[in-house]
Amino acid sequence: MGRLPFKKFLACQYDPVPPVEPQDLSGQTVLVVGANIGLGYEAAKHFAAITVEKGKEAAHTIKEATCFENIEARAVDLAVFQSVVSFADKLMQEEDRLDIYVYNAGVSTRTYARTVDDRETTLQVNDLSSALLTILLLPLLRKSTDSKFSSRAVIVASEVHYWATVATEELACPNLLETFNDKEKCTPQVMANRYWLSKLLNVFFVRELAARLPPNSPIIVNAVNPGFCASNLNRNEKFPVTLLISLFTALISRTTEVGSRALVWAATGARHRENDLRGAFISDAGVTEPSDFVVSEEGARMQKRLWDEIVEVLGKVSPKFKTIIGEHLSGCGSHLSTLAVTR
């Protein structure tokens, strides 16, 4: 695809999304982060169905809707790094395996706000906590692989990454994450595009992580685009933005159930050609080329810089973070940076 003109985006919204195909997930463990509402909730229902407080309510509702009993709700605050670390530690201690991991949680807001970790909220929840949890769970994903299927790690990105821009002066700064975190630089115009930037960073992280996994790794990591769906993602927006989003949603949005099919496909589809999914950007049940910027030389440099900065920041959050990287990943990376994958 490379680019996404607005007319093509509108047309894609009406493209049919294949229904979820039955899969044998018996004996497997599936983790959907952000499963209490929206896309994650619908994806969790699908995962439960195909193999036959708010988190607990969602689990109860899913059980009733699918007649699948083996569902458990766990709480994690993605705006607090230590909550993510504790969540991962508990999961590692209590679970024997993790076959499918979907990071669906995200926020979208035009208002600059810092978390308790002194990070801009959108980037912490959508990107840094995603990277932190994904890396901390790599040993469990690696442990769970068998001769039949690879483990899958799916990060929910978006087609809006095609429209994300990084200013020349931002690229010239010595530290990208600190620049994106700087309140003085986060003007209303910058924050209006912050969600788009966070989805671009999701794509970069997935590509770099996939590049650093061994070529024959039993872990498949990819990024998926569910399309523009009716959801609670924009719950933090204010009038008149909420009015515009409501009108746009009424006119062209997919239902959350339809959008969730993309998440399930990224996690279970193409079993006969799993290698095609390594580091891939997936849209409408197929591998699609990410933005021109992502596959450009400049994009490759930014991808590598972001990885190094993420490791530096999150290595201070948890000592296990760098240990896992050293044990499970190579130091080279970026062999996917200039790879253009198409359907």
Closest Cα to residue 141, out of 278, 279, 29, 224? 29
Beta bridge partner(s), residue 114: 120
Beta bridge partner(s), residue 224: 156, 282
- How do beta strands 287-288 and 281-283 pair? antiparallel
Residue whose entry in the numeric block shows the structure tokens 């999701």: 202
pLDDT reported for residue 51: 62
pLDDT reported for residue 105: 80
- CB neighbourhood size of 311 (10 A): 16
Supply angle C-alpha 272, 338, 261, rounded to 5: 40
pLDDT reported for residue 329: 93
| The one-letter amino acid at 172 | A
CATH of domain 6-328: 3.40.50.720
Please give the model's pTM, rounded to 2 decimal places: 0.87
> Beta strands of the chain (E only): which ranges?
30-33, 100-103, 151-156, 219-225, 281-283, 287-288
Give SS3 for 159.
helix
pLDDT reported for residue 38: 74
89 phi and psi, to 5 degrees?
-60, -45
Q: Omega of the bond prior to 174 within 30 degrees of 0, cis?
A: no
The ranges of the chain with pLDDT < 70 are 1-2, 35-37, 50-73, 145-147, 230-245, 248, 331-343
Rounded CA-CA distance 62/36 in Å is 10
Residues across the chain = 343
Closest Cα to residue 91, out of 51, 36, 33, 148? 33
